[in-house]
Structure 1
Amino acid sequence: MTNIAVINYGPQLDYPAMLPELAGSLQVFSHHELQNTEGLGRYEYVKDCEAVPYPELMIRRLARDKPFTHLVTDNEYDLERAARIREDLGIPGQSQASARSFRDKAVMKEVAGRTVATARFARLASIADLTGFIGKHAYPVVVKPVKQGGSRDIAVLRDEADLLAFSRRPWREDLMVEEFVEGPMYHVDAVLADGYRFVASSRYLRSCLGVFSGRNNGSLQLRPDDPFARRLEDFLDRVLDAFDTPDVSAYHLEVFHTPDDELVLCEIASRVGGDRIPALTRATYGVDLHTAVLRHSCGLPVAPPPSAPPAEVHGSVSILPQGRPVRAPGRPPFPWVHQYTVNEQLAPDAVTLYSASHLCFVIVRGADTAEVERRLLEAEAWLMENLEEVA
């Protein structure tokens, strides 16, 4: 009999809507409070769910009375925990070794380097390892934790002054360093299962690291019939050839396109992309990434992705918190605005903490990537000009 453990992160996920056939079989432990929980077999909001051991303890205890047939999570920070529980309880799905290869960025690059180009990198045990890497490969370099996400706690060191400033920060035991790769970054978002393949490619509007210097973040989709989108999809396949992949998974791949036309892996995660990626995918393709991977993971039917190219593609830009009391304006007055959302949970004087931080965001539509980019920049300019100071 079906019994499904869910370790949830996303505040907007609606499990009864995504899995109506199995809602009563879902035992949900959630990092955020969910709105629609009626009909679930069990639901608990767990404060700091991704960091505390309570959900793992409870899943193991519940399994004594009724074994779980599936264990799923939408959260990158729970992938290894979920894999460990699966292996211990004999639940099919992603293994611990597979989860670690997608979570630990140093292991990830070691694995991916078998089939694609990656930046040169090294783990860091001390500041001497960092200066040794710089001495060998020169500036600029990127220093980051091996299991962090959302561009949190990343430092770009461009010269000795940056190195000295970095040396005044508390040292972490989970750091790595890699070469800084020039060029725009693209992302590829996919759900792959037996008999099902959905892949969509996009370009970041600006570097995700730019948010920490005040540059708004966003992305814009490529048309699937764009030759470069096909090249990115092929790159995804070559990356995955190097990994032990589960039978069902979503993937979020980030790729640099260098000035000499080389594709270089930045990172790949075995989960749905964050920020506005799911909303953009729904708008263009009618595919809900979370629903698709969840239903496949539970052995339920999923409508095939569209085979014809979409009439339009979409893009988004997020206006960053300004670090001073401001209020987001109303909806931009353009007919091609698809969605406009204000972050009502944000304090008026909030600062940017990670790449998905936002005061508000807008999604626009267009016939192709170039038109979407022009419209994104126009909407961004209008929003910035109409921010309201709060007394």
Structure 2
Amino acid sequence: MTTIPPDGDAPGRVAVINYRSVLDYPAMFPECADRLYVFSHHDLAHTEGLAHYEYVPQCESIPYAELAIRRMAHELTFTHVVTDNEYDLERAAHIREDLGLPGQSRASALAFRDKAVMKETAGRAVRVPGFARLTAFGDLTSFIEKFAYPVVVKPVKQGGSRDISVLRDEDDLLAFSRRPWREDLMAEEFVEGPMYHVDAVISEGYRFVASSRYLRSCLGVFTGHNNGSVQLRPESAFARRLEEYLDRVLAAFDTPGTSAYHLEVFHTPDDELVLCEIASRVGGDRIPQLTELTYGVDLHATTLRAACGLPVPQPPRDTPGEVHGSVSVLPQGRPVRAPGRPPFPWVRHYEVNTRLAPDAVTLHSAHHLCFAVVCGDGPEQVEARLLETERWLMARLSEADDANDTENAESTRGN
């Protein structure tokens, strides 16, 4: 173990705004669980011994948790305010600054959250796509005249590929013009090439960086393409190139003393790296699970503990014997039953989303009917196994008359 120099003093009382449904705060913070004040978007299974716990539905979009923490601060002394959720980064930063607590500043949180500010900031160090904030529809038509089709239109503070539109021609523009206009949009030049993601936790005395490639474009989920991710071998030349690129990007930002980072970057046909986005939080979807399987690093626990000045294990120095990848089968928009666990020996984990509505449609890039995690000696073998697993699953989807019919639709966990 190594003690990370804290962003301030070691934790007294810690306010937590939580999103993920699977986090176990008593297990992650055994030495100070009785000083954690947790407000959670999802109802957590493990809350024993916490100083305070509240399940707050829609916590990420309503200000109740912020009000409660501010009121508590009149009577209690908090040393840290932390969150695992991108949508709460600015809120947590506001509380910290008002209470005089260490951690990410409001300006830093905004630069990582607002995609237009992000592009302006990162553009000082690396190439970014052409972009423009849209204050009126005429801004969009002017942008298209300048950059030509296709163009991407997205909200500046959304995540998970939600509410993104790719306009490829005049018909797409006409269809887009029939939707209600939003005041939070930006336009962006379309970039060709596969997308990679880099996931990191960086603090004084601690550094972990891992690189992966998306199986397909994240935007493909909205046209029926299943999503997934393939880890690169960390010793590969391209993984090292991506790590160096991450450092170049971060050099342009005001970075907190401790943070996780999730960077997405295009690799163009002419071998150039072009920034898509960077966030100061743990990557979503299956990224934490794949990272722990390959490297033994719990991204959430490492980030949250290090941010509170608590000891965390150093990342492994040896290269892993195998890497992992995942493929998620999308909701089908009709009642279907997912098959049982694929029979392949290299499937490390298989899980069915039993809480999915029977007629669910894809709402974001992490939405899924089921997903599988596979292992292999390198990205080429992992990708081949993912595609074979995907074919097996898609061939065995069956109609379900009852939305609650879970024959063959039980979660299968473990190695």
TM-score range relative to shorter protein:
over 0.9
Match of 1:363 in 2: 373
Contact 1:327/1:348 (8 A) holds in 2: no
Q: Specify the alignment match of 2:181 in structure 1.
A: 171
CA RMSD in angstroms comes to 0.6
Q: Which residue of 2 aligns with 1:270?
A: 280
1:143-181 deviations in whole A, cap 9, x for unaligned? Answer: 000000010100000110000000001000000001000
Normalising by structure 2, we get a TM-score of 0.94
Q: Which residue identity is paired with 2:28? A: M
- 1:117 equivalent to 2:123? Answer no
Per-residue CA deviation, residues 220-250 of structure 1 (Å, 9 max, x unaligned), is: 0000011000000000000000000000000
Letter aligned with residue 244 of structure 2: D
Shift of 1:67: 1.4
How far does the alpha carbon of each residue in 1:3-62 deviate from its partner, in whole angstroms, 9 at most, with x for none? 000000000000001110110000000000000000000000011111111111110111
| Equivalent position of 1:22 in the other structure | 32
1:156-195 equivalences in 2 (<5 Å): 156-195=166-205
Question: How much does 1:348 deviate?
Answer: 2.1
Q: Which amino acid aligns with 1:166?
A: F
Alpha-carbon separation, structure 2, partners of 1:128 and 1:374: 45
Deviations 1:107-162 (A, max 9, x none): 00000000001001000011110000111111110000000001010000011000
Pick one of 206, 230, 244 that aligns with 1:234. 244
1:260 corresponds to which residue? 270
User: Distance in 2 between the 1:125 and 1:59 partners?
Assistant: 35
SS at match of 1:144: strand
1:13 aligns with 2:23: yes
C-alpha distance after superposition, 1:275-315 (max 9, x if no partner): 00000000000000001001101111111100010000000
CA contact (8 A) 1:152 1:354 kept: yes
Unaligned runs of 5+ in 1: none
How many percent of aligned residue pairs carry the same amino acid? 74
Match of 1:72 in 2: 82
Secondary structure of the structure 2 residue equivalent to 1:190: strand
- 62-71 vs 369-378, which moves further: 62-71
Q: Distance in 1 between matches of 2:62 and 2:148?
A: 40
Measured in 1, the distance between the counterparts of 2:135 and 2:63 equals: 28
Partner Cα separation in structure 2 for residue 313 and residue 353 of structure 1: 29
Give the match for residue 91 of structure 1.
101
Query: Helix, strand or coil: the match of 2:97?
Result: helix
The letter of the residue matching 2:316 is P
- Give every structure 1 segment of 4 or more consecutive aligned residues whose post-TM-superposition deviation is greater than 4 Å: none
**What is the TM-score when the length of structure 1 is the normalising length?**
0.99
Distance 1:125 1:16 in 2: 46
Out of 214, 217, 220, which is 1:210 matched to? Answer: 220
Report 1 or 2 for greater relative contact order, CA contacts < 8 Å, sequence distance ≥ 6.
2
Partner of 1:282: 292
| Secondary structure of the structure 2 residue equivalent to 1:106 | helix
**1:384 is matched with which residue?**
394
Aligned AA (2:189):
E
Contact 1:256 1:263 in 2 (8 A): yes
- Give the distance between the partners of 1:290 and 1:111, measured in 2 at CA: 26
1:142 to 142, 146, 152: 152
Aligned residues: 391
Q: Which residue of 1 aligns with 2:137?
A: 127
2:74 partner SS:
helix
